[in-house]
Every structure is written in C-alpha cells, then in structure tokens.
Chain A
Amino acid sequence: MIDGLYAIEIDHEKCKGRLACIRICPTQAMRYRKSRLEINPVLCIDCGDCITECPEGAIRARTDPWDTLKRFKFKVAIVSPVLFSQFPRTITPYDIVHGLLAMGFDAVYDLSLESEIYFKAVKDYLEEYDGPLPLISSNCPVVIRLIQVSYPNMVEQVTPIQPPRDIAARTVKKKYSERFGLKETEVGAIYISPCPAKIAAIKAPAEHAASYLDLALGIRDIYNPLLLAITKVKGASGAEKPVLPRDELRSMLYLNLAITGGLSHALQQKRFISVAQLPNIENIFGDIEKGKIKNIDFLECFSCTGGCIGGSLTVDNRFVALSKLQKVIEFIEREKRNVDEIMDEHYQKGAYFLEKPLKPREIVHTESLSIIEQIERVKKREDFFRKLPDINCSLCGAPTCEAFATDVTNGTAEPEDCVLMSDRKMKELREFYRKQVEQKKKKSEE
C-alpha cells in the first residue's frame, strides 16, 4: 500500500484526507481525488514540506535502511554539519565521531576540507562568470529542482559546482580504496542527511549524472542508536578526551554551511544575499525573472528555515540547534589551521564542476497543442475560474480554485468536483468525513 517518489512515500492507510499537504505543496503537485492522495512526480521537488505538515504522519521520507550498508566492505559516514547541532551540549563533535565508529562505520569523514574547496570553487567561478546575475548556490537540491520546474529560464544561473558532500564522496572512495586495496564500489560513501531532498539527490541527481554518494541515512533515523553508542563510548573512555581518527573538524566555514549566510564568509567582497523558505525564494526568483533584482552577485538559497539546520529529518528544534552549532563554531575556530596552506595542497582549479549541465525539467505534455488551441484553453480556464468562489477551500482535492480550474480545463477533474457546484460532491464529502469522525470517536473511547 505504499507508493511514492524519490524523496517521499505515502502510507495510504494512514491518510485521512485532511488536505494539509496539498495546501502546503509549493509546486501544487498534490491532489486528493476519489479519497486518495496523488502526487505528480514531474512537479515534486523533494522539499518534504508535506512530511512536516501531515497531521497523521502518513507521508514519510524515503531513507535507506541500515541493512543496505552491509553490502560495502568499508563504510564511510560523510556527515552533514547539522549532525553536530543535534545533541546535548555535553556531547562534543569528537564524541559524535566516536559514536558513529562504535555504531559500525569504519571511518567518519566531515566536510571541512571539501567545504573550503567548494567555497573556493564558487568564488573562482563567480570571478570568471559573465552571464546573467545573480548566481545561485547549488547546495540545496530543493532549490535546484524548483528552478528546473518553475523557473526554467534561470538554470544557467545555478553555480555548476558540486556540493561538498559529492566532492567528499569522490575523495573518500579514492582514498580508502587505495589504502585498503579495495574496489571503489566496495567503499560505501554514506551521507548522514538532515533532509529527504539530499537523499533523493543521490538517487536521482538533478543534472542526471551519477552521484558519488552511495546511500544516505536520515539524522532522525540514526539518532537513537547513535546516542546509545555515544553514551557507551563516553562511559568507556571516562573523562579522557578521545583521539580523533583524522585531523578533521578544523574548519569554522564548514559548520557555517548548514546555516543561512554561511557562504557569505567565502564571498566577502561580493554583493551577497541569503534567502530561506520556499515562499521567499519564489518571491525573489519572480523578481529576478522580471529584471527587478539588479545589483546582486550571489544569491544563497535554502528551502528550510534557517538553512539545513531546519531540515525535516533533524531531531532538535532548529533555533536551539542553531545556538548549539554557533557554540561549536566558536570552539573549533580556536583550532583552525591556515586555510590557504591547506588549499595550496588540495585545491585543483576547475575540477569540481557538475558532471553534466543542469537543464530545465521536461514537463511532458500528453498532447501537443498549437498556440491557437493553447490560448483557447487559457480562455476556457479563465471563464471557468470566474464561476468559482475563489476561497481555496481545497475540498475538490486541488489546492486552490485556480489549480482546480486548470485541472478541469486539462480534463483531470470534473466541474462537479467543486462542492459549491454540486450537491452530489457535498453529499460524498459529508459521508466520507462523517466516517472519519466516527472512527476517531471510536478510537478515543477504546
């Protein structure tokens, strides 16, 4: 009874038709028709807003189960900086690294080096770029997909640089396969992710190339076993400061990557703005398309409030998490090595571009209409829309009266699906929701 897309799956048994998801969906990809939730996979951008919004817990993130890790001879956890903000303040990043090792990972790899590389690659690209401005950050997969679906004109403005997690996966596979005489496929690059979008981005990268990452686990999914492992490790080593498996966790910039404004540290001389949350992003993208945004070089975008720290697979309250991460940043800043020195050693100019160019997502039309027919359709839709109450009650199963008018014109809904246009629909809904209420009553009495 489960179906779904790359990022999410629906449990139809649990769905009670409460319509919260179809109202929140930023691309209007969801419909509730004939007592069943449908998602248009072409429009879904993997944001996970529906997961957070569903009051019944009927929509889940697709994550990889722990067992799928067993196929690798050497398992490397590549950790999102968000992970370090999710535990009580007494648990340090060092404890978390050791917890992951105790859990069964063979190595833990943070993104400090790759973040520096990413920042430098973005800066280099911006320096030589002469296309339309602003350039847009490539770190949040939801933003990339939103552009592909709703702002196809702007794909060329996405910085075509691989995000740090992908650069890291490439490094990890090479490094450990060489060190232990393994094939690269035997080294598992496993991302510890704050959101379903980054998991989906591994399975189906926006640029249609293969990701170097093999799998991803949600922070929420490994939280309890990890906390248990950390407690055990801490107990065993007593008050001693654990030794680090490698000299990671040195970079302050790395941790900033999870927070809005993080990239500004790398692009200090540039005209930079940072925007979070999809409605705000859509607002500014609309302005960019109109040519209203004129004097901005770089636009950092995060789908989630506050940045990745607000991802739907996190555990802690995002504001508390932010405060904790800032403390970790202060702690680590004191140990920072000279970044220029490190870059001289590792950075290869031009080596971090996306494997393939980003293109708009193809919205497949089942029929090809002439321009005259299409304009006729627009008129028909406007005529029908004028008959609707424009109150966006969503009872027809579409998020807005506008969306419903489009559905009717495209033939995927009937005019009678509107409760204000048909007594039949009203009666159907009354029966359906009465049943739901009775079930709820029964449950509470039990």
Chain B
Amino acid sequence: MSDKRSGEAPRNLLSREKKDNLIKCFFLLCAVFSVGVLAVILFSLFYSGLPLFKSVSLSSFLFGMEWYPTFAPPEFGILPLIVASLLVTILSVFIAVPLSILLAIFISEIAVGYFKDGIKVIVELLAGLPSVVLGFIGMVVVAPLLQDVFDLPTGLNMFNASLILSIMIVPTIASLSEDAINSVPQEYKEASYALGATKFETIAFVIVPCALSGISMAIILGIARAIGETMVVLMVAGGAGAIPESIFDPVRPMPANIAAEMGETPRNSLHYHALFAIGIVLFFMTLAFNLVATYISRRFKEGGSATL
C-alpha cells in the first residue's frame, strides 16, 4: 500500500498545497480582472476623450453655454447639457422618492399575504421593463397627453422625461428602502408599541428614522441611475440644447446627447473626442454618487441587538 503510494507520488507534478494555491490565484485573477474592466473603461474614455483638450480648454468645455459641434468654428460648451441632466434627475427624484418610500413601507410593514406578494411581483416586473420600452411609452402615450392637457407645442420635454425616469427608478429606491426598513430590529417596534404609540407613529418616528441611512443610500443610487439613464431621455426629453426656462421646455441631457450624436460623428474628429469627454464627466458624476452610497452604507450600519 505504502509502496504503491510512493510509486505514484512523482506522477503528481504538483503537490496538493501548490495546486490549491494555484487555483486560488486563478480565482483571484478573475476577481481582479473584473475590477480591471473598470480600469479599461476609464482608459478608453480618457484615450478617446482627452485629445479634445488640446484644442478646447477645460473651463470652456465645462462652463461653455453653446453646444454647436458641427459649426465652423465648433462650440463645445456642455453646461446646458449638465444642467439638463441635473434638472431632469432632481425632478424625477422628487416624484419617485415619496412613491418609493410609501411602497417600501407598504411592502414591509402594512401589506400581508397576496397584497404583499402581488406588489413585490409588480415592482420586479417594472424593474425588468427595458428602458427603450418605457421611452416608447413616453413618446406614444405620455407626450400626446401632456401636449393636450397643458396645451404645449411639444409633449417631448423635461417633465415627460422626469415622469418616465421616476417610474424607472421606483423599483431601485423601493426595494433598497424595503431592505433598510426590514433590517430595523423588531425590539424597536415593540418598545414603541409598548409606550402606546400607534402604528403610524411607530413607522414615522421609529422605523423610518432608524432606516434613514439605508433609505438615503437607496435614494442616492436612484439618483445615480437616473443621471446615467440614456434611452428615456434620448427618446422623450425633446433634445433642445439650451438651459430650460420651464419644466415644459425640451432639454438635452448628457447621455441623450452622446447617444444621439455618436452615430453620425466621424471617428477621431474633435466632435468624437468631445462626446467621449462628456462620457468622462458622466462617469465621474455617477462614480461619485456610487461611492457616497457605499460610504453611507458602511459608515452608518443600523444598530440594534437583533441585527448584530
């Protein structure tokens, strides 16, 4: 028996530990490679975007009021696009946040049985709807409606885009807020009821404040999602490259601008580089929101004996 083993041993080129270690390294490599994708994204954005700044200064790019990439001489000011992105996002968050938080409370504290399962399925369905479909709905349903009701020259405007975007980010904010509310320890609620608080008072003054960091993380991720969303703003925001004066003006947020113009831009022209430079701005804006959300979720983990 022992002879047989020692006879076999040399055929195993690698010892057990070495093999285990090699395989561990392989998995580590895959994890690092996944992170590497982020680096390659950054590299390709800079590689194709930075050449713009040989001929256009950073401040005239970021704070310029005119976006006329095909004029002679061309103008590459993206301030109206940034403002449009921010306004559309803020408006959609204003619509989506109350709705999402009420939904989260409904799912985790109020609904039971079929209602609870039903609304969860509905939120999942909504999360699964492709953005191009929602954009299409915005074009063929919401736009004519807005045009008639408010007597506007066009229904494709900032308000329409915000409405559709808010529908889109509801699942994100609602499901993350629901997680946060669910992680509030049961004892807190019981203590509140024991003091004679009503269910509403418990929700409003105990549960929601306890889940506040999780809810704010949900909102920030919703904002990040809304800023980067492309198809909806491309199809329904109207596409006018000026700072809007009312919420019914057409606007041209950054993602819409990139998607609309990239198709007809000659490779390696100044215009091409400028669109990548907008991509850089967009990338860092969403990155900042994501990092803040990560920080909040780590820094303010909810306390309580039940969760720890």
Do A and B actually bind? no
- Give B residues with C-beta under 8 Å from A: none
